Structures are given as structure tokens and as C-alpha cells.
């Protein structure tokens, strides 16, 4: 079974031609692309897909991009998602407003797609560090995504590929609670049908492996919601 390890990018853009250009280039660059055409759909997609980064047009229907940005940055569970604001507004006061509302970057239309892709990858280093080969550490655990090795208390922990991806997800955002559906999308991919009980099976395997050399169970079950690390 193929698994999804691609970073998820949410593109919020109401112009069809702009959406398709972004979709084509992001897909070619190895991203999993989710689309939204208005602000209400964007907020819904964020909750459903848990994107790693958002490309957000300012002038979109129903709920403006600036308001979408404000709402996401006010919520603890979405505050850390990088947002790159896209806008035809080129005045300094507009840039400042976008950044002060919480946008992590601001690009004026028309923009260079090559530069935008570079900025996406820069923001991704913060939101999805394992996807760019960075070392992740949490308490006594260390995960090296390049060598595909995990250590706890200095001793190597043997993990299967699915357990490794689950742990990567947890260590990228410690203490965040992930629902089973969100883990399915993140680890297995949105295009595959996998029963949610499969998540419980692999969480059990992950727990067993992480405690194989002693130590407490680092994975927390949040009843009725899902799982988190710590």
C-alpha cells in the first residue's frame, strides 16, 4: 500500500487560471495540493485536511483572505500553520496589514512562480521539518528522517515505515491532538480507503516499540478525539 509522505498545501484562490497554475507547479514540486475557492471553504478544508502550509488570496468570496488568516491565527490548533498571503495590493500599508494579521509571508500579484515555490519550501522547514530532512527531537527521543532512524534514551528503536511516519507527524507538532481521520490523511493519504481502526493498530505497535527499552508511554490517548505526543 502506498503511503502519503507529501507535504499538504492548501491553495485558496477564486480565479480558476491562478488555481490551475499553482496546482500544476505544486504538484510538479512534490506537494499534495488541496483547493478552496472561497473563505468558508478554506476554513472547512483546514479542519478536514490539516495542511502544512496555506497559500491564501486576499480577495476571495464570502470570507476575505485577511479574515481567514485572522481566524486561523487566533486558534491554537491552527496558529502554527504558515500562511503566504497572495494579493494584488502592492502598497506598503497592505503588506503591513497582512503581516500584522498573522501572515508569515506576503507576495504581490503578478508574482514569480519560481520565487513562490522557494518561499513555500522555506516556510515548510518550520511546519514540516521531517520532509526536508531535518532532525526532530522531543524529550528523550530523536528522529532522523534522512537515515530513517529513531533513538530513545540513546538506544535505537526499530520502527516499521507506517509507525515511523506516525511518529514523525507527532514529533513535528508535539502535544497537538490528532484525530484518527487526520492521521489517516497525513500518513496513508486522502485517496486511499483505510479503516480508522487501522490507526489504533499502528499506534499500539508504535507504543510497544517506543517502550521496548523501558520508559513511560509517550503517546497520549485523548478519549473521543485521538492521539498526541505528550
User: Looking at the domain assignment, is residue 34 inside a domain?
Assistant: yes
Last residue of some domain: 127, 142, 169?
A: 127
Are residues 112 and 207 located together in one domain of the fold? no
Least confident range from 45-59, 117-131, 173-187: namely: 117-131
Are residues 116 and 19 located together in one domain of the fold? yes
CA atoms within 13 A on the CB side of 154: 0
Contact 119, 84 (CB under 8 A): yes
Return the pLDDT at 55.
97
Are residues 36 and 114 located together in one domain of the fold? yes
Pick from 118, 112, 128: nearest CA to 32 = 128
- What is the tens place of the pLDDT at every residue in 18-57? 999 999 999 998 898 999 999 999 999 998 888 889 999 9
Are residues 90 and 142 located together in one domain of the fold? no
Domain of residue 141, residue span: 131-229
State the average pLDDT for the chain: 88
- What is the tens place of the pLDDT at every residue in 46-93? 988 888 899 999 999 999 999 999 999 998 888 889 999 999 888 888
Return the pLDDT at 193.
67
Are residues 16 and 122 located together in one domain of the fold? yes
User: Looking at the domain assignment, is residue 3 inside a domain?
Assistant: no
Are residues 73 and 96 located together in one domain of the fold? yes
Work out how many domains the chain is built from and give that number. Answer: 2
Amino acid at each position: 500500500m502506498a503511503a502519503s509522505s507529501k507535504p499538504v498545501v492548501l491553495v485558496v484562490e477564486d480565479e480558476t487560471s491562478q488555481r490551475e497554475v499553482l496546482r500544476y507547479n505544486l504538484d510538479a514540486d512534490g506537494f499534495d495540493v488541496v483547493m478552496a475557492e472561497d473563505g468558508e471553504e478554506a476554513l472547512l478544508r483546514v479542519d478536514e485536511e490539516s495542511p502544512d502550509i496555506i497559500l491564501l488570496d486576499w480577495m476571495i468570496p464570502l470570507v476575505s483572505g485577511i479574515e481567514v488568516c485572522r481566524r486561523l491565527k487566533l486558534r491554537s490548533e491552527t496558529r502554527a500553520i504558515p500562511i503566504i498571503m497572495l494579493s494584488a495590493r502592492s502598497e506598503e500599508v497592505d503588506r503591513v496589514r497582512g503581516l500584522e494579521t498573522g501572515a508569515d509571508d506576503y507576495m504581490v500579484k503578478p508574482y514569480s512562480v519560481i520565487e513562490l515555490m522557494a518561499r513555500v519550501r522555506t516556510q515548510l522547514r518550520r511546519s514540516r521539518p521531517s520532509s526536508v530532512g531535518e532532525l526532530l527531537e522531543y524529550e528523550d527521543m530523536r528522529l532522523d528522517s534522512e537515515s530513517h532512524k529513531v533513538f530513545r534514551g540513546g538506544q535505537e528503536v526499530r520502527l516499521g515505515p507506517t509507525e515511523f511516519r506516525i511518529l514523525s507527524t507527532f514529533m513535528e507538532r508535539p502535544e497537538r491532538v490528532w484525530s484518527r481521520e487526520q492521521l489517516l490523511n497525513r500518513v496513508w493519504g486522502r485517496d486511499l480507503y483505510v479503516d480508522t481502526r487501522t490507526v489504533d493498530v499502528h499506534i499500539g505497535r508504535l507504543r510497544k516499540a517506543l517502550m521496548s527499552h523501558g520508559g513511560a508511554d509517550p503517546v497520549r490517548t485523548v478519549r473521543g478525539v485521538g492521539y498526541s505526543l505528550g
